[in-house]
Amino acid sequence: MCGIYGITEQNKQWIKSYINKCHYRGPDMNKMFFDENITLGHNLLSITDTPLQGLQPWKTDNGNILIYNGEIFNYVELLKKYKNFKPKTQCDTELLAWGLDQYGIEFIDQIDSQHAFAFWVPKEKSVYLSRDHAGIKPLYYAMTRGILVFGSEAKGLLDIVPDSRNVDIHALSCWSVAGLNVTNNSFFKGIKKIMPGETLKYDLKTKKLVQVKRDIILGGKGLSYDPDEFRSVFDKSVQECLIGKRPIGTFLSGGLDSAMIAYHAQKYLTQNTFTNHILPCPIDSNEDYNSDSYEAKKLAKHLGFNHTIVVHSPKLYAKHWKSSIEALEEPMYNPSIPMYSHMNEVMSKHGIVVTLAGDMGDEILCGYPAYIIAKRQKFKSHRDCVMFWLTKRLMRPPSLKIQINIDDIVDFLIDTTFPESLWDKDDPVSSYMRLDQQGLCAEDYFRRNDRLGMLYSMEGRFPFACKKMINFCMNIHSSYKMNDSLDSLKSISKKSYQRILPESILNKPKTGWTAPINLWRSQFKKDCKEMNRVANKITNANNLPDDKRWAPILHLLTWQQVYNMKFII
């Protein structure tokens, strides 16, 4: 995990400022490159080799310049394939630079990666910006004063992009309906996001920015599956995600996806696992907030993991409130963000530098009841599918007054985020799952993991999000993954790991790592005094909705204050 930054003019001072603002993204080293046309900067978090060997910006044999944030998981496989590549280091940066030199931007098709990079080609006077297929690594950009500026985090662009402290109406409108901004606009007006799988080319001569390609893993062959093959593909994905020399820790949620990761990872290294434990634990007739914690503890003991239980409380929630929101950069409709930040802090204090998580497991293997509901809708078109996703994702949306109507938001998303290629008339449920993969995963799971992990200089990895795993699973028809019953969800995983993982994990009802802030506030008022003080500093807490919207609306208002944003809700 690193940070990359650039501007298409010579501006060393601005790039140095950007590097300093995002210092936590690469505490090992930083460096700049500049000429009369461009200035590039890089923060380095060294994973696969020593810092000096991986120092960037990287000058290629052809005189091109690469700045890169990410990992190439099929690195060893590519070394075997390209015998004419003679590495001088163990850094995948060297391989990527060589491949782009030799084969151009199409080399991206060869890598199974998580990445964000900029590639400056002086002879063309062109710079390429690229983001991985799943949107794991972030990359923001903007056009201002006839120049292109870009970077790993939006905060470094705010002072150079005019009006960026005004809220983008498309972003706010999408968030107010779905609880996520999955548009290609950030919340900061004028600052845009490279979309998952997207590669852009900027020509300094014409000052035009065009999309070169959009790499989306679709699948869609409608195949059945073999449990042995499924486990083999997943084992390979996990093994490749262990690349590097830095200590690795696994988020062990107590659910099936993280248990599968930990089981396979244990074959190749001693597992350091971490799980959340809620204290005090409120009474809730619908959920036991520590059921995941208990299952994770039992599994860790059974398989011999080095396991750490991370106790989270209302006071710790209040402690991490503001810093976690600042780190995320854009609002999230999720009450558990401070708890996730606390978990990352603890893992970092235990010496962890690389984390493994089960994100995207549900989105490629039918893990949500929403997929059963989607199946019953019998979508007739891609637009029907997108409309349903946008308007039914949340049980209780923020209900803000928005300036863009629902139909226009859907049209905007189809033009940018959810292209028609995601639609499969023979498998509408898989079509709906692809919306989650391109929207929910990129803008919720991966963004919060990147920002909250990088806040403590840690790189997150996701075996389920590897190209090979997505391709394998999305080529399986959804009818093999579930039927109309809740018990059928994740049936492929359950059948494939019978007699391998405990029945209590295989058959555990779906829960999540959730911070029960509303129940804390009602059942443990004394413990919540600090959080209430935080809320009253932001707004009159009596004006907040007294339901599940309390924390997300307060999050939005806190973000508005932290970033000095101009808008009225």
- DSSP assignment string, 477-494: -GGGT--SSGGGTTHHHH
Q: What CA–CA distance (Å, rounded) separates 559 from 554?
A: 8
Q: What CA–CA distance (Å, rounded) separates 230 from 223?
A: 13
Strand-pair category, 58-59 with 65-72 = antiparallel
pLDDT for position 541: 76
pLDDT digits 0-9 by tens, 415-461: 999 999 999 999 999 999 999 999 999 999 999 999 999 999 999 99
* Cα–Cα distance list, 537 to 325, 540, 546, 558 (Å): 15, 8, 18, 9
Q: Which amino acid is at 415?
A: D
pLDDT for position 523: 96
Strand order in the sheet with 248-251: 306-312, 272-278, 248-251, 354-356, 459-461
pLDDT digits 0-9 by tens, 299-342: 999 999 999 999 999 999 999 999 999 999 999 999 999 999 99
**DSSP-based three-state secondary structure for 220:** coil
Question: CB–CB of 5/56 below 8 Å?
Answer: no
pLDDT for position 510: 78
CATH fold, domain 227-364+436-562, is Rossmann fold (3.40.50)
Q: How many CB atoms lie within 10 A of CB 507?
A: 10
- Residue-range domain boundaries for the chain: 3-167+183-214, 227-364+436-562
Write the class of the CATH domain 3-167+183-214: alpha beta
DSSP 381: S
**DSSP-based three-state secondary structure for 415:** helix
pLDDT digits 0-9 by tens, 178-222: 999 999 999 999 999 999 999 999 999 999 999 999 999 999 898
pLDDT for position 569: 55
Q: How many CB atoms lie within 10 A of CB 205?
A: 8
Asked if 3-167+183-214 and 227-364+436-562 have one fold, the answer is no
Q: How many CA atoms lie within 13 A of 483 on its CB side?
A: 3
pLDDT for position 1: 66
Question: CB–CB of 343/317 below 8 Å?
Answer: no
State the Cα angle at 324 between 321 and 325, rounded to 5°: 85
Question: CB–CB of 104/119 below 8 Å?
Answer: no
Q: What CA–CA distance (Å, rounded) separates 56 from 41?
A: 8
DSSP 334: -
Q: What CA–CA distance (Å, rounded) separates 84 from 177?
A: 52
| pTM score of the predicted model | 0.96
Helix (H) or strand (E) segment spanning residue 537: helix 529-538
Low-confidence ranges of the chain (pLDDT < 50): none
Strand-pair category, 198-203 with 126-131 = antiparallel
Tokens read off for 307? 């396991």
Nearest C-alpha neighbor of 521 from the set 234, 332, 314, 364: 314
Tokens read off for 496? 């494939």
